[in-house]
Amino acid sequence: MLNLMKHGAISILPLAAGAALYGFAFGLLAAQTGFPWWSVGLMSAAVHAGSSQIVAVEQFANASTVLGAAFAGAALNLRYIGIVASLSDVLAGLSLRAKLVAIHITGDENWALTMSERAKSKDIGASFLIGSGLVMIFVWTLSTASGALVGTVLPDLERFGLGFAFTAAFIAMARGLWQGRSSILPWAVAFGLAIAMVYLGLPKAYAIVASALCGLVASHMIRQIRSASQ
């Protein structure tokens, strides 16, 4: 068991290095929005979801509404329902406490690595997932807190254009979430309506929720039309 945990911990290191860069950049930005460095580390350890944290912090900094920021952040995490559900075989046999620890330290990277390694060998299981997950949450917490620590001693980075880094990060996330041509119309609806709503004076937090829901309606209509034509 310890050998497999160690195997997981070592195997995840290249991916952890990439997450550390991303985490450092997030910490830098979070510090600029008023989060002390230790609270960024605390958030990373307690939430352990990179895209969710960056979305929530940006929303909180701009709109200062806890509910809107939490909703936007949580919505980004919905994919974890599917990710954790896919681990049912891996986690079978563990105690409830161990399962809760395992799912908390599961992120995109160690989940993907565990599933791909498990496809090659059935020996890969919960120990590998936990070993790799412990490295990931440690690296994520340390890198975000370090970034925030550096961010607090730097001058106002907004005037150097660093605030745009959030928007650029969202654009990169969107690229990862693109599902092909079926995304075009729902995304166009959401994008256009969000622009219009903010232009008309609606608070950003509400515009995001309303336009995303309109995008869902558009997606539903496309599915209905497709299934009716088949």
Partner 1 sequence: MTSSHWLIILTLAVAALSIRIIGLFAGSKVRASKHSWVLEELPGLIVVSLIATSLSGQSMQMWMAAAVALAVAITTNHVIATMCLGVAAFGGLSLITG
Which of positions 80-99 make contact with partner 1 (CB under 8 A)? Answer: 80-86, 88, 91, 99
Told to check if 21 binds partner 1 by CB under 8 A, we report yes
Q: Write the interaction track for partner 1 spanning residues 47-86; mark x where CB under 8 A is met and - where it is not.
A: xxx--xx-xxxxxx---x-x--xx-xxxxxxxxxxxxxxx
Told to check if 154 binds partner 1 by CB under 8 A, we report no
Told to check if 112 binds partner 1 by CB under 8 A, we report no
Told to check if 226 binds partner 1 by CB under 8 A, we report no
| Residue reference for tokens 């950049």 | 25
Told to check if 46 binds partner 1 by CB under 8 A, we report yes
Told to check if 161 binds partner 1 by CB under 8 A, we report yes
Size of the site for partner 1 (CB under 8 A): 88
Among 4, 7, 104, 185, binds partner 1 (CB under 8 A): 104
Structure tokens at 94: 């563990």
Told to check if 170 binds partner 1 by CB under 8 A, we report yes
Which of 162, 167, 144 lies closest to 32, judged by CA? Answer: 162
Q: What is the largest CA-CA distance in the chain?
A: 61
Structure tokens at 177: 């979430």
Among 25, 124, 130, 134, binds partner 1 (CB under 8 A): 25
176 phi, psi to nearest 5 deg: -70, -25
CB-wise, 115 or 162, nearer to partner 1?
162
* Number of neighbours of residue 88 by Cβ within 10 angstroms: 9
CA pseudo-torsion sign 43, 35, 19, 59: positive
- Contact between 47 and 53 (Cβ < 8 Å): yes
Told to check if 168 binds partner 1 by CB under 8 A, we report yes
Told to check if 101 binds partner 1 by CB under 8 A, we report no
Site for partner 1 in 188-217 (CB under 8 A): 190-192, 194-195, 197-199, 204, 207-209, 211-212, 215-216
- Which stretches within 12-120 are classed as H helix? 13-32, 37-47, 50-63, 66-76, 79-85, 88-91, 96-104, 108-120
Torsion angle of C-alpha atoms 115, 116, 122, 128, degrees rounded to 10: -60
CB-wise, 7 or 212, nearer to partner 1?
212
Among 7, 39, 108, 142, binds partner 1 (CB under 8 A): 39
